[in-house]
Copies of this chain bind each other. A is one copy, B any other.
Amino acid sequence: MYMKIIKLLQDRKILIDSELEKVLPKGNIEPKKLHRAMRYSVFSGGKRIRPILAIESCLCCGGAAGDAINAACALELAHSFSLVHDDLPSMDNDAYRRGKPACHKKYGEADAILAGDALIVLAFEALVNGAKPPVAVKMLREFSAALGSLGMAGGQSVDIEYEGRKKGARILNYINSHKTGALIKAAVKIGALASGARPHKIKKMEEFGAAVGEAFQIVDDIIDNGDSVAVFGRAASIDKARMLTRKANKSLAGFGSASRVLSEIADYLIERKI
């Protein structure tokens, strides 16, 4: 059923990886260890969901894939940054990531922290690269809001604060929406902004991104058998994810056939494991 969409996701991943290859300094450029740690973190797997959503959102709004490719790279660099820092001993203390040693295990803690720092700086640089300046500034606002203390960093801080403690529904929703939902939502909106579309289209894309982001974080938690499943129950979580996917797809109604791929990706992302 999902053969066509799986093929498309694979093709997009190849495109994004080849751009990331160009954006990241080579491992033989000084400081070599830092550049190798950055590349290791970015190229150790990952489905490139955020950049793919940005590109498809841009296409859905009438833009070309090329309009969103740099922003797409920025989103993946930011995602990689967050994984490297989250895995650190003082954070989630994960020794493995995608079946390989975490960056801090392979390159040491100091270079893992610095690789994360350099990745987020590079992400901002990539984000505005080639964009029309007014669009670049709009994208930057979305990007920083999703990543900062009121976004992803805030979600991680609260997650660590509540580690090993019982979390109620409010805290759980806060953590999930900030750690996962915010960047997914931003990816969709940034892709729409990159297309140069009019505000009413961008608004619809924002609605789509918000619903998909929320659905995605629920599915993530179902896969990991995370805290939300314990609190809300598996069946209720699946129901909610499906409801949000329907809501997301409704936001695409006005785009006609241009939204078909984006809608199929949303379905696929949600249904892939539940």
Contacts and interface: CB of A to CB of B under 8 A. Distances in A.
A128 B110 CA distance: 30
Contacts of A128: 137, 140-141
Contacts of A116: 117
A124 B147 CA distance: 11
A186 to B, nearest CB: 12
A153 B88 contact: no
Interface residues of A, number: 48
A158 interface: yes
Given A133-B133, A133-B136, A149-B31, A90 B109 contact: yes
A113 B160 CA distance: 12
Contacts of A124: 124, 140, 144
Contacts of A117: 81, 85, 116-117, 120, 147, 153
A116 B153 CA distance: 10
A153 B118 contact: yes
Contacts of A109: 90
Interface stretch (A32-40, A54-62, A261-269): A32-40
Interface in A100-141: 108-111, 113-114, 116-118, 120-122, 124-125, 128, 131, 133-134, 136-137, 140-141
A140 B216 CA distance: 32
26 contacts: A31-B154, A34-B149, A35-B149, A81-B117, A85-B113, A90-B108, A91-B113, A110-B157, A114-B153, A114-B157, A116-B117, A117-B120, A117-B147, A117-B153, A118-B148, A118-B149, A118-B154, A122-B144, A122-B149, A124-B144, A125-B141, A128-B137, A131-B137, A136-B136, A136-B137, A136-B140
